[in-house]
Amino acid sequence: MLSEWQDHKTHLRNYVSKRIDDVDAIDDILQEVYIKASTNLHKLQSKGSIKSWLFRIAHNTIIDFYRMRQPYDELSDDLIAEEDNGAHARKELAECLRPLIDNMPDKYGVPLRMAELEGISQQEIADRLGISLSGAKSRVQRSRVKFREQLMACCDFEIGQDGVIGYTPKDPTKSPKCPS
C-alpha cells in the first residue's frame, strides 16, 4: 500500500488543495485518506483501480470536511417537538383506505386486511385461510399491488418530509374502481 500511496500522493495533494479553502487542513485530509485506504485495502476488488479508489476516498473525505464545518444553532432545551407530524392526515387517510380494502374481492381484501390492518403474520393468514405459506405470501403481495392500483386511481396525495401530509379523494363517479 505504501508504494501505491507514494505514486499517487502528489496528485492527491493537488486534488485536495484545489478543493479545500483551508491550507492547514490539506495534510490532515491526506492523512485521513491514507488511513481510510490502509484500513479498507482488503475491500478493493481490483488492484488496477487503486488510483480512482484513492481519489474517491479523497473526494468523500473532502465532503466530510465541509460537512463538519457547517455552522449550526443550538436548540433551546425548552423547545418541544410538535407531536402531530401529519397524524391527522394519516388518520383521515386510514378512513379513506378501509372502504378501498372493503371494495376489493375477498380473495385479496381479506389477506390484506389481516396483514396490514390487523397485523397478523403471514403464517397465521395461511392457517386461517387454509392455504400454504407461500400461497399466503403471494396473495398478500398481489393484494398490495391491486390495492396500490386502486389507491392511485381513487386518491391524490400530498407528500412531505414526514410522508403523507394530505390527500384528496377523487370523484368516484369518474373512476369505477372507487367506492362512493
Confirm whether 56 is domain-assigned: yes
CB hemisphere CA count around 15 (13 angstroms): 19
Cell of 134: 407461500
In whole angstroms, what is the distance from residue 119 CA to residue 66 CA? 44
Within a domain: residue 32? Answer: yes
Residue 77 within a domain: no
pLDDT digits (tens, 9 = 90+) for 27-49: 999 999 989 888 888 777 776 67
Question: Which is more confident, 157 or 8?
Answer: 8
Distance CA 49, CA 31 (A): 20
73 conformational bin, left if phi > 0, alpha if psi -120 to 50, beta if neither: beta
Q: What is the pLDDT of residues 56-99, one digit of tens each?
A: 999 999 999 988 887 777 777 666 655 555 666 666 666 667 77
- Specify the DSSP class assigned to residue 178: S
Question: How far apart are the C-alpha atoms of 179 and 154, rounded to whole Å?
Answer: 8
Give the CATH number for residue 120. 1.10.10.10
